[in-house]
Amino acid sequence: MPEHVPFLVWFGVVLPAVLFLACAVGLAGYRFGLRFEIRRRPHAPALRALPAQRGSGPHREYVELTPAERAAFAGLVRQLGDGH
Q: What is the pLDDT of residues 38-78, one digit of tens each?
A: 555 666 666 677 777 767 777 788 889 999 999 999 999 99
What's the pLDDT at 12? 86
Q: CA separation (Å) from 51 to 33, 43, 46, 58, 59?
A: 33, 18, 10, 17, 20
Mean predicted confidence (pLDDT) in 22-48:
70
Read off the DSSP letter of residue 2: -
Residues 6 or more apart whose Cβ sits within 8 Å of residue 36: 29
Contact 10, 2 (CB under 8 A): no
